Amino acid sequence: MKKLKISNVLIILILSLGAVIMVGPLLWMISTSLKDRAGVFQLPPQWIPDPVQFDAYKRLSELDTLFSGIKNTVIVSLSVTVVGTLTSSLAAFSFAKLRMPHKDALFLILLAALMIPYPAVMIPQFMMFSQIGWVDTLLPLIIPGMFGNITMIFFLRQYLSNIPDSIVEAAKIDGAGYLQTFIQLIFPLIRPAVAAQFILWFMGAWNDYLAPLIYLNSPEKQTLQVVIANLNAAYAIQTDYPLIMAASVVSLLPVLIVFIIFQKQIIESVALSGMKG
């Protein structure tokens, strides 16, 4: 019992240390955004600003690039994840439950695309999109993602493999088409897994920096992450860290809200995957 108690104490201490290391920078970012410039360099450091100031958020709201960046990021993230989640779910359903010739070979070819690093296709993609006039538009960030996400297709296909084929066969006997079977029977069963993958994809699309940096040149077309990087380059020299941290907090809020809303589905997805695995 003593050894068990000591091990529990050690586990709690290690987890607490990890929590502090992970949450500490986040809390410091929020704290810095509520200070003035002098308060950032005050010794000893103040975790709770005294007084709390919202001047950085006020100055941030006066920047036109912030609102255009938020608008562009919302357009890209929602259009890609909403439409792409639907197409990925349909593709996973097709690979898992439909009878198609050579579907396993097609699925392996699809998975092989995961082995190709993005820098290897970055230049050919840019040349292709440049020739059709998509550079400096949001289309290169939106259109490819609407055809689905390979990681989501793989995850949902594995999840669907645990659902009996008899459900699809019974629906077929009752006269239901494949689309009706998917909407009324399959999608409600995989909704927790879809929600979990949706959140991960939304976070990736919202935080994407490299692709917008490559394709977007005009300030009014840039996404929020590129806008924050430009603010960092412009205001870090002036040691205006409260403004930079305020922009980072604004960028973090949507992802945090999405996670809070769908956290139940994530937990259900992990629990069901564990039981079925």
**Would you say residue 121 lies in a domain?**
yes
Query: Range of 75's domain?
Result: 53-273
pLDDT at 272: 54
Tokens of 195: 């929600």
Distances (CA, A) of 76 to 72, 125, 197: 6, 18, 17
Residue 139: CA count within 13 A, CB half-sphere: 11
Q: Based on the structure, what is the number of domains in the chain?
A: 1
**Would you say residue 25 lies in a domain?**
no
Listed residue (200, 210, 205, 198) closest to 121, CA to CA: 210
Written as tens digits, the pLDDT of the chain (277 aa) is 556 677 788 888 898 888 888 888 888 888 888 888 777 777 777 788 878 888 888 888 888 788 888 899 999 999 999 999 999 999 998 888 888 888 888 888 888 888 888 888 888 999 999 999 898 899 999 998 899 888 888 888 888 888 888 888 888 887 878 888 888 888 888 887 888 888 888 888 888 888 898 998 888 888 988 888 888 877 777 777 888 888 888 888 888 887 777 777 666 655 555 444 4
Dist CA 187 CA 274 (whole Å): 20
**Would you say residue 48 lies in a domain?**
no
Dist CA 86 CA 73 (whole Å): 20
**Would you say residue 29 lies in a domain?**
no
Dist CA 38 CA 53 (whole Å): 12
CATH number at residue 110: 1.10.3720.10
pTM above 0.85, yes or no: no
**Would you say residue 106 lies in a domain?**
yes
Sign of CA dihedral 203, 208, 212, 218: positive
**Would you say residue 24 lies in a domain?**
no
pLDDT at 218: 87
**Would you say residue 168 lies in a domain?**
yes
**Would you say residue 260 lies in a domain?**
yes
